[in-house]
Chains A and B, each alone.
Chain A
């Protein structure tokens, strides 16, 4: 009697096992890693087919597709408020969301270092799955490579996403006009300071928690509250912080921007840590915040919509777009003076995302 039972394979040693070169070699070990870890955690029909790519439905009539990609090399891999897995989902989801799109699907590429504990990989994958569920996206295809020990740093994850852009939505960095209002969805600098506090030997009395989160919910709340055309620019102020984001907008739109320091929300523990280290919270990275430039007439409605969302309680109107051919960003200080807010000149802190 011929048997159809596949030969016995020992289940993946998720508790004590380690990544080895076989997990990226294309053979049985790699298939097992994909089946027992990734497919199980990400759990969706497109991935479960086990083919080389994902087959996806076409967008609705009138919708366009938006595509974005983001590589993640954060160190440490686990930090208060998140880990490289949730960050890899949020990074790409947010890139799609600030284009005005509804994020739908992600592809994930993993570069694993030989010797990396499978238990930690499982934790990262579970965190990715949870973040994807919360953001309403599916991880539908992926890739796994393994590099020799010393050639990586545990895990690097690249995610690529596709979203659908509803008709009428067209936010863009070049659309800010003098008179427009500048809003931010919450406190600034939380992610960068959380990473910094985790690193080296820096310990603060109160823990700083990363704001790593998907902003697509905030974006949908905005579009539900104000006319699509009133939303000129959406950005997530990641590396370089708010300072780089508003400078990008000023440069792309050919305008100046004037911020009001007293209105910019910063958590007290982040401000304290910044003071101690001589850093400016405006330069520190965020991973779950939204910068909105919108027509002044709709600024209060937009602000109310952000504040009504659970992730936007601390949202604030922080400034306005002004006419300035030099494209400078200025800040009215709490003290009553003025200064410029410039691009971040050099890397303040490598590998924060």
Chain B
């Protein structure tokens, strides 16, 4: 199939793998983080790590929107959906099973009578509100994601405002990529160890929107190489080869492997749309990375009528993670899934305890679903 099978070709992959094996310098270790969950999933699903030499290690990053979403935000949505029968709470499929407080999740809230629905896009949520133009039902869209899914959220808010659609609002949980990368490469405030990173595999879809320029600080300030790369396995292999080359040559630059979609400036129209409707929050609590300044977006006061947090007076009460859950350390690459005592025992994709096990893009779910046959300890 065009644009898919070309980027999964076994012969080309073997060629790239050979080039990487020849490029790595003896006695040198290469630790690269793939920031995005999309990359984590592609690497696991296609067995990319099997094609890399032992000295090249890929560390899973925090770029999984569901994984970094704090429990308090999900609690907020559940409280709203349970307390107000007029609310139809809609969100992406991945969010439905995120474990929240009191043993609940949005899916379990649905079983208790809340009207929770899965949508494929922000536009589907808006369509739901348009279709039931009865003021008795309130459609609330629980919006999550990095810069990739943010423009569609901004667009539906602007459309709702243009039509003065009063039964539609959004809980905005959108987060920003560059501040998270900055946090990963900076000494942490609380002293939790961060892994050494020799390079970053930069986001694919996020970079289509924001461009490659916003990562310049990674190269200049943190002296760490970045290669923006597509989500197909050949993209990942080519990017690893480019990172190895940068490390060998002592360079730290932002390079773009994903030239078929990413430009330095990105999609200016999408950026303008986000800026019109959304503004940067002073701070936002990330699972794993803690509170980060200027790292998330909220709806501008001009659009307050479509901001569910303002409309329903929602309160964000922070909730600590499960004591034994290592999601926080796993999300910043300090630990691997099998370092967690809960992994594969009480925490599985069917009964996730932590967020990394919920989304298929989470490091734990990826390892459980695709990689655990490699583990020496028997995890059945």
Chain A residues packing against B (C-beta within 8 Å)? 200-202, 262, 268, 271-272, 275, 277-278, 280, 326-328, 330, 332-340, 342, 345-346
Contact = CB atoms under 8 A, between A and B. Distances in A.
Given A272-B1, A336-B51, A346-B97, A326 B10 contact: no
Interface stretch (B185-193, B304-312, B364-372): B364-372
Contacts of A339: 44-47, 370-371
A250 to B, nearest CB: 11
Nearest to A347: B107
A272 B4 contact: yes
The 3 closest A-B pairs by CB, nearest first: A337-B47, A345-B349, A337-B50
Given A272-B1, A345-B349, A333 B373 contact: no
Contacts of B124: 200-201
Given A202-B120, A342-B368, A335 B373 contact: no
A204 B170 CA distance: 28
Contact of A201 (B50, B127, B233, B348): B127
A338 to B, nearest CB: 5
Interface of B: 1, 4-5, 8-10, 13-14, 17, 44-51, 97, 120, 124, 127, 233-234, 348-350, 360, 368-373, 378, 380
A338 B47 contact: yes
Nearest to A270: B1
A327 B380 contact: yes
Nearest to B44: A339
A332 B45 CA distance: 10
Contact of B13 (A200, A262, A335): A335
A338 B10 CA distance: 12
A278 B1 contact: no
A239 B17 CA distance: 37
A336 B4 contact: no
B373 A336 contact: no
A337 B48 contact: yes
B369 A335 contact: no
A278 B234 CA distance: 18
A277 B234 CA distance: 21
A336 B47 contact: yes
13 contacts: A201-B124, A275-B4, A326-B380, A332-B47, A335-B10, A335-B47, A335-B51, A335-B234, A336-B47, A337-B48, A339-B47, A340-B369, A346-B349
Contacts of A268: 1
Contacts of A334: 5, 8-10, 46
A327 B120 CA distance: 35
B360 A278 contact: yes
Contact of B373 (A200, A330, A332, A345): A330
Given A202-B120, A268-B1, A345-B349, A335 B97 contact: no
A337 B380 contact: no
- The residue in B50, B127, B348 that gathers the most chain A C-beta atoms within 10 A of its C-beta is B50
A16 B116 CA distance: 36
A201 B126 CA distance: 13
Contacts of A278: 360
B97 A333 contact: no
Nearest to A256: B373
Contacts of A271: 1, 4
Given A201-B124, A271-B4, A328-B373, A333 B348 contact: no
